[in-house]
C-alpha cells in the first residue's frame, strides 16, 4: 500500500491507554460423530456481546440447533471475553453470527477444538475456497469491528494456507504449525453491520485445511465503507435545440480532510447561469476514503465523441452524449472520459454506476489502465462493477456502450482510491547460468546441479540453486544464481507450489552410457558444458564418427508441468548445433552465431514430474554448443500417460496386463502406484497400507490408504472393492467405504484415505482396483 495510506483506525485508537481486544475461543469437548453428517452441527452460531460502562465485554453464545449436548458446548463460550477501546460503545450490545458456506458448520474437538465445515473432511475447513465460515456483525450503534486476529488448530500439513476475504480485500497466510494465531491487525480489516469476513482454505489441494479455533477484535468508532459518490441530478428539458444543456466538460474537485471525509465542489466549462447553478447543486459531502488525507484532487468528465449533455430523463436526470439519441450514451461511437488528476501514484477504482432511462439489453463498456471490460445492463439503477477497473492518475477511464442504439443516461457513479495500477509481469520463468570468473569449474563425475523453484502466494517464482559438488568455487558459483524473483505465474492454482529441476551429464559410447562431468565457463556471460572432446561444449569426440556423445538432461520433480519456450547457447563455431528432446519430441537446432537464443515455444517441448528435457550432441553437426540458460512456462501438472511412463523403461516389452518383472503385479498396477515394472526385487514405492482404528463407542474402522497418480490419467480409474464373504467366494462390491481425505504424496501422486466400518464379528477384505479404459 502506498505511503498515502491513512490508518484512521490508528487515529481513533491512539488515545487508548492499552491494547483492547475481545477474544473468543471455540474450545469444545465433542467427540467425532459416528455419523458425521448428523451430529455436532450447531447450525448458525450467534455471539451476543454486552459492553458495560467501563468497556468490559461479556459473551452469551447460542446456536440454532436444539440438541442439548451441542447447546451445552456452545454455552461454554459464555463469560468475560475482554474489553473494547471505544467509549462510545460502552453500555451497548451487539452480535456476531458465524455461518458456514459450502457445507454445514461443525463443532470439531480436534486439538484445541473449533469449527469446521462438512465436506471434503468433515472436521476441517478444507475444500479450496468452497468451504467457508463467515463472520458477520450486527447491532453496532455508531461503531465498527476492527478485526485483529484469527486462531487455527488441527492444520492438515505444512502446505496449508488460510485465506480471509473481507470488505477491504483478500489476504493469505501460511500455517506453519498445527495450531497458532494469524495476526491481522496491520491489515485494518473493518466490519460494519452486515459486512462479513470469510475464512477458507487457499491451498489448491482439497484435502488440506484447518479448524477455526477463535477470533479476536476491537470495537472502534464507526468507520464508513470507503467510497466517493457523485449524482448528476438535474431537471433540464430534453430539447435537442437547447444548446445550453451542453456543458462541454465538468470538473469535480474533491477535498479530503484529516480523517478521510470528502467534500465535492463541482464546476463546468460554461457561463450560462442556469447550467452553472445545476452543476453547483452537486456540491457537498461526497463520501470517505481510507487511502489518503489532507489532500485535494479532481476528476474531469469530458466527451471523446459526441457532445456532453445534461439530461432530465429518468426522473433523477444525468449525463448523455449527442448522437443516436441526444440524451443517452447509446452508440459505440459515443464515449465519455473520466480522468483523475493531482494524485501521482494513485488510481481511480470504479465501484458502481447509477443509470437511468436504460434501454435493455444494453452493455456498458469500460476501457482503463487495467484493461477493457463489458458489463450487461438489465435495468435502470445501480450497476455494480465486479471487475477491478483501475485508471491511473492522468489516465482516462473511458465509459461507453457495446451495442448500437441501446444505452443509458449516466446519473452518477461511485469510486475509491487505490495504489496505481501496475500491469502484472508477463508469465514465465527464465534462468541464466551466469559466471564471470576466468577459471573453469567442473562438478565432478556424476555431479549434479539442482534448481529448486518456489511459487509464493502472489505468483512470484523464486530460485534456490545448489550442487552436489563440495568445492567452494563450484558451490559459490551456483549459489550466485539464487534469486527471489526469476519469473511469474498468473494461475492461482499454482500459488504455493514448489518443484525442482536437476541437471546431470552423460556420455554414450557404442551404446554404453556413463555419467559425465558438468563444466561451467565464463564465455558469453556463463555457459554449462560437459567435459570431453571440448570441455566448453556439449559435443563428442569427432562428432562425425559418433563416439563419446554427450548429453545434459534436466529432470523435473514436483506437482507441475513445464512448457519450454527458449534456450540460450554460447561457444559455438561454424556448423554447430544440438538436439533437444522430451518424452515425445526430438528436434535439431542449428546455432546461427557464436551465442544467441533459440525460440522453441511452438515446438511443443513439455515435461511432467519424472520426465526430462535433454540437450544431446548429434553427428549432424561438426561442433556442439554450450547451454547458457532456458525459459519455460509453469502450468498445472498434466496427467502422465501409460505410454509416456512405459517409454521410461525401454526394457519393458509386455503390455498393460503383463508382469515383466514377475513380482505379481501387472504393469498397469505398477504404473498406478509408482512401481518399477522391470525390477522385481524393487517393491513398488507406494503400496496400499491399512490399520484398525477406534471410531468411538463400540465402532471400529479399517483405515485403508492408497496412492494414486496426480493428475489421474485420462480414462484411468481407482476404486476400492470390499467383501465380507471371504476370499474363496468373495462378494466384491464398489461400496461399503468412505473417502475421508486426500493429501499430498510424493511428486506426481496423492494419498487417498478411506474408512471401512467393521465390528468384532465381521471380517472385511479390501482390494484396490485400477482400470484403464
- Phi, psi (degrees; rounded to nearest 5) at 457: -70, -5
Interatomic CA distance for residues 189 and 192, integer angstroms: 10
Cβ–Cβ contacts within 10 Å for residue 692, how many?
Answer: 11
Q: How confident is the model at residue 16 (pLDDT cuts 50, 70, 90)?
A: very low
Q: What is the pLDDT of residue 132?
A: 93
The mean-pLDDT minimum among 240-244, 271-275, 363-367 falls in 240-244
Q: What share of the chain is helix, strand, coil (3-state, %, to 5)?
A: 10, 45, 45
Task: Dump the DSSP string for 499-541.
Answer: EEEEEEEEEEETTEEEE--EEEE-GGG-EEEESSSSTTSB--B
Q: Could you tell me if residue 74 is left (phi over 0), alpha (psi between -120 and 50 degrees) or otherwise beta?
A: alpha
Cell 462390491 identifies what position?
A: 733
Contacts of 326 (CB under 8 A, 6+ apart): 238, 240, 309, 320
- The predicted structure's pLDDT at residue 238: 60
The string of pLDDT tens digits covering residues 269-323 is: 888 888 899 999 999 999 999 888 899 999 999 998 878 888 877 678 899 888 7
Confidence of residue 10 (pLDDT cuts 50, 70, 90): very low
403 touches 539 (CB < 8 A): no
Q: How far apart are CA 485 and CA 643, in angstroms?
A: 36
Is the per-residue pLDDT at 518 higher than 90? yes
574 pLDDT band, cuts 50/70/90, is confident
Q: Is 567 helix (H, G, I), strand (E, B) or coil?
A: strand
pLDDT over threshold 70, residue 333:
yes
Other beta carbons within 10 angstroms of residue 263's beta carbon come to: 15
Range with lowest mean pLDDT among 134-138, 335-339, 361-365: 361-365
User: Containing H/E element for 486?
Assistant: strand 483-488
Q: Render the burial of 53-75: b for 16+ CB within 10 Å, e for the rest.
A: eebebebebbbebeeeebeebbe
CB of 346 closer than 8 Å to CB of 427: no
Residue 611 has pLDDT above 50, yes or no: yes
Task: Compute the chain's Rg from CA coordinates.
Answer: 33
pLDDT exceeds cutoff 80 at 737: yes
The H-assigned helical ranges of 398-500 are 472-479
C-alpha cell at 1: 500500500
Instruction: Tell me what pLDDT residue 19 has.
Output: 57
CB within 8 A of 28, min separation 6: which ones? Answer: 73, 76, 107, 108, 109, 113, 114
- What's the Cα-to-Cα distance from 661 to each of 591, 596, 758, rounded to whole Å? 44, 47, 36
- pLDDT, residue 339, reads 96
H helix runs in 27-149, sequence order: 68-75
Assess contact for 704 and 754: CB atoms under 8 A. Answer: yes
Dihedral angle, C-alpha 501, 506, 512, 514, nearest 10 °: -100
Element (H, E) at 642: helix 642-647
Q: Is 66 helix (H, G, I), strand (E, B) or coil?
A: coil
Q: Take residue 614 and report the three cell numbers written for it.
A: 535433454
- What's the pLDDT tens digit per position in 622-655? 889 999 999 999 999 888 889 888 988 889 999 9
C-alpha span between 9 and 14 (Å, rounded): 8
Q: What is the pLDDT of residues 436-489, one digit of tens each?
A: 999 999 999 889 999 999 999 989 999 999 999 999 999 999 999 999 999 999
| Nearest to 234, CA basis, from 185, 279, 204 | 279
Least confident of 28-32, 201-205, 224-228, 490-494: 28-32
User: What is the C-alpha separation between 322 and 303, in angstroms, rounded?
Assistant: 10
Nearest to 123 by CA among 143, 94, 103: 103
- C-alpha cell of residue 109: 474437538
Average pLDDT over residues 142-152: 94
- φ, ψ at 132 (rounded to 5°): -140, 150
pLDDT computed for residue 700 by the predictor: 87
Calculate the alpha carbon distances from 347 to 220, 366, 368 in Å. Answer: 28, 15, 10
Report whether 337 contacts 398 (CB < 8 A): yes
Q: Do residues 461 and 454 touch, judged by C-beta distance below 8 A? A: yes
Q: Which helix (H) or strand (E) holds 223?
A: none
pLDDT tens per residue, range 86-131: 999 999 999 999 999 988 998 887 667 899 998 777 788 988 878 9
Question: Looking at the predicted structure, is the pLDDT value of residue 542 above 60?
Answer: no
User: CA quadruple 138, 141, 142, 146: dihedral positive or negative?
Assistant: negative
CB 540 within 8 A of CB 623: no
State the Cα–Cα distance between residues 328 and 404, nearest whole angstrom. 12
* Close Cβ partners of 237 (under 8 Å, ≥ 6 residues apart): 245, 312
Give SS3 for 295.
Answer: strand
State the Cα–Cα distance between residues 215 and 192, nearest whole angstrom: 16
* Lowest mean pLDDT across 242-256, 438-452, 499-513, 599-613: 242-256
Question: Residue 106's beta-bridge partner residues?
Answer: 116
C-alpha 113/C-alpha 123 separation (Å) is: 10
Handedness of CA 387, 161, 743, 152 (dihedral sign): negative
Question: Residue 497 above 80 pLDDT?
Answer: yes
* Longest CA–CA separation in the chain, Å: 101
Mean pLDDT score across all residues of the chain: 88
First to last CA, the chain: 53
Please state, in angstroms and rounded to a whole number, the distance separating the CA atoms of residues 393 and 284: 23
Residue 724 confidence (pLDDT) above 80: yes
Judged against a pLDDT cut of 70, whether residue 248 lies above it is answered with yes
Label residue 428 left, alpha or beta by phi (over 0 means left) and psi (-120 to 50 means alpha): left
**Residue 35: pLDDT band with limits 50, 70, 90:** very low
C-alpha cell at 566: 527458449
Global pTM?
A: 0.52
User: How many percent of the chain have pLDDT more than 90?
Assistant: 55
Going from the C-alpha of 91 to that of each of 49, 86, 126, 216, the distances in angstroms are 11, 11, 39, 20
- Give CA–CA dist 521/525, Å, rounded: 8
Q: What is the pLDDT of residues 153-171, one digit of tens each?
A: 988 887 788 999 988 788 9
With cell 522385481, the residue in question is 680
C-alpha dihedral, 692 to 695 to 697 to 700, nearest 10°: -30
Give the 3-state secondary structure of 581-631.
ECCCCEEEEECCCCCEEEECHHHCCEECCCCEEEEECCCCCCECEEEEEEE
Distance CA 245, CA 276 (A): 10
Per-residue exposure over 657-669, b if at least 16 CB sit within 10 Å of its own CB, e if not = eeebbebebbbbb
CA distance 406 to 398: 17
The residues, any chain, with a CB within 8 Å of residue 551's CB and separated by 6 or more, are: 505, 506, 507, 508, 516, 530, 538, 614, 615, 616, 617
What is the grid cell recorded at 749?
A: 501422486
**Domains in the chain and their CATH numbers?**
8-221 (no CATH), 227-419 (no CATH), 428-638 (no CATH), 689-772 (2.60.40.10)
Compute CA 766 distance to the chain's CA centroid, rounded to the nearest angstrom.
38
Check: CB of residue 214 under 8 Å from CB of residue 157.
Answer: no
* Residue bearing the bigger pLDDT, 542 or 592: 592
What pLDDT was estimated at residue 493? 87
Amino acid at each position: 500500500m502506498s505511503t498515502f495510506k491513512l490508518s484512521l483506525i490508528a487515529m481513533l485508537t491512539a488515545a487508548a491507554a492499552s491494547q483492547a481486544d475481545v477474544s473468543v475461543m471455540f474450545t469444545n469437548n465433542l467427540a467425532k460423530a459416528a455419523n458425521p453428517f448428523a451430529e455436532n452441527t450447531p447450525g448458525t452460531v450467534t455471539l451476543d456481546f454486552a459492553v458495560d460502562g467501563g468497556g468490559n465485554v461479556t459473551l452469551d453464545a447460542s446456536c440454532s440447533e436444539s440438541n442439548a449436548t451441542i447447546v451445552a458446548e456452545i454455552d461454554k463460550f459464555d463469560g468475560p471475553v475482554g474489553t473494547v477501546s471505544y467509549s462510545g460503545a460502552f453500555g451497548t450490545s451487539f452480535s456476531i453470527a458465524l455461518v458456514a458456506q459450502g457445507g454445514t458448520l461443525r463443532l470439531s474437538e480436534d486439538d484445541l477444538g473449533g469449527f469446521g465445515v462438512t465436506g471434503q473432511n468433515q472436521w476441517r475447513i478444507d475444500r479450496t475456497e468452497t468451504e467457508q465460515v463467515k463472520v458477520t456483525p450486527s447491532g453496532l450503534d455508531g461503531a465498527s469491528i476492527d478485526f485483529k486476529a484469527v486462531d487455527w488448530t488441527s492444520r492438515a500439513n505444512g502446505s496449508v494456507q488460510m485465506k480471509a476475504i473481507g470488505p477491504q480485500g483478500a489476504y493469505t497466510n501460511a500455517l506453519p504449525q498445527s495450531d497458532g494465531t494469524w495476526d491481522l491487525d496491520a491489515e485494518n480489516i473493518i466490519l460494519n453491520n452486515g459486512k462479513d469476513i470469510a475464512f477458507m482454505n487457499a491451498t489448491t489441494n482439497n484435502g488440506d485445511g484447518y479448524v477455526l479455533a477463535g477470533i479476536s477484535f476491537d470495537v472502534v468508532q464507526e468507520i464508513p465503507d470507503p467510497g466517493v459518490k457523485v449524482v448528476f441530478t438535474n431537471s433540464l428539458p430534453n430539447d435537442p435545440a437547447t444548446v445550453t444543456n451542453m456543458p462541454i466538460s465538468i470538473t469535480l474537485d474533491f477535498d479530503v480532510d484529516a480523517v478521510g471525509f470528502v467534500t465535492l465542489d463541482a464546476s463546468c466549462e460554461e457561463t450560462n447561469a442556469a447550467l452553472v447553478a445545476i452543476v453547483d447543486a452537486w456540491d457537498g459531502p461526497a463520501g470517505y476514503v481510507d487511502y489518503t488525507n489532507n489532500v485535494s484532487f479532481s476528476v474531469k468528465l469530458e466527451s471523446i465523441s459526441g457532445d456532453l449533455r445534461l439530461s432530465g430523463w429518468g426522473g433523477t436526470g444525468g449525463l448523455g452524449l449527442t448522437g443516436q439519441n441526444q440524451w443517452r450514451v447509446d452508440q459505440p461511437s459515443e464515449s465519455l472520459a473520466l480522468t483523475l488528476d493531482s494524485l501521482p501514484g494513485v488510481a481511480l477504482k470504479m465501484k458502481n454506476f447509477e443509470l437511468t432511462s436504460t434501454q435493455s439489453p444494453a452493455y456498458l463498456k469500460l476501457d482503463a489502465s487495467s484493461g477493457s471490460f463489458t458489463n450487461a445492463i438489465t435495468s435502470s439503477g445501480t450497476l455494480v462493477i465486479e471487475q477491478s477497473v483501475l485508471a491511473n492518475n492522468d489516465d482516462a477511464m473511458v465509459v461507453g456502450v457495446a451495442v448500437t442504439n441501446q444505452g443509458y443516461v449516466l446519473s452518477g457513479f461511485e469510486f475509491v482510491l487505490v495504489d496505481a495500477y501496475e500491469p502484472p509481469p508477463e508469465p514465465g520463468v527464465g534462468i541464466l547460468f551466469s559466471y564471470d570468473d576466468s577459471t573453469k569449474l567442473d562438478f565432478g563425475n556424476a555431479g549434479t546441479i539442482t534448481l529448486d523453484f518456489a511459487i509464493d502466494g502472489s505468483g512470484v517464482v523464486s530460485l534456490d540453486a545448489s550442487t552436489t559438488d563440495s568445492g567452494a568455487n563450484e558451490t559459490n558459483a551456483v549459489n550466485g544464481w539464487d534469486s527471489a524473483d526469476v519469473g511469474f505465474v498468473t494461475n492461482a492454482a499454482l500459488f504455493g507450489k514448489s518443484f525442482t529441476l536437476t541437471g546431470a551429464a552423460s556420455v554414450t559410447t557404442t551404446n554404453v552410457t556413463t555419467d559425465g562431468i558438468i563444466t561451467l565457463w565464463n564465455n558469453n556471460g556463463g555457459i554449462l558444458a560437459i567435459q570431453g572432446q571440448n570441455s566448453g561444449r556439449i559435443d563428442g569426440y569427432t562428432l562425425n564418427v559418433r563416439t563419446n556423445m554427450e548429453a545434459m538432461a534436466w529432470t523435473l520433480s514436483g506437482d507441475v508441468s513445464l512448457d519450454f519456450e527458449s534456450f540460450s547457447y554460447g561457444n559455438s563455431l561454424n556448423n554447430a548445433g544440438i538436439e533437444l528432446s522430451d518424452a515425445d519430441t526430438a528436434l535439431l537446432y542449428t546455432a546461427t552465431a557464436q551465442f544467441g537464443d533459440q525460440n522453441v515455444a511452438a515446438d511443443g517441448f513439455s515435461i511432467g514430474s519424472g520426465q526430462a528435457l535433454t540437450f544431446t550432441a548429434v553427428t549432424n553437426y561438426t561442433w556442439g554448443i554450450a547451454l547458457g540458460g532456458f525459459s519455460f512456462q509453469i502450468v498445472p501438472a498434466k496427467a502422465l500417460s501409460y505410454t509416456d511412463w512405459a517409454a521410461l523403461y525401454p526394457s519393458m516389452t509386455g503390455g498393460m496386463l503383463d508382469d515383466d518383472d514377475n513380482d505379481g503385479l501387472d504393469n498397469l498396477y505398477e504404473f498406478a502406484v509408482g512401481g518399477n515394472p522391470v525390477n522385481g526385487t524393487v517393491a513398488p514405492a507406494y503400496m496400499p497400507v491399512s490399520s484398525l482404528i477406534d471410531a468411538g463407542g463400540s465402532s471400529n474402522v479399517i483405515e485403508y490408504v492408497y496412492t494414486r497418480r496426480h493428475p489421474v490419467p485420462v480414462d484411468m480409474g481407482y476404486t476400492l472393492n470390499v467383501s465380507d464373504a471371504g476370499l474363496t467366494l468373495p462378494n466384491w462390491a464398489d461400496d461399503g467405504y468412505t473417502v475421508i481425505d486426500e493429501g499430498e504424496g510424493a511428486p506426481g501422486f496423492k494419498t487417498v484415505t478411506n474408512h471401512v466400518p467393521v465390528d468384532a464379528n465381521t471380517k472385511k477384505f479390501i482390494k484396490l482396483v485400477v482400470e484403464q479404459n
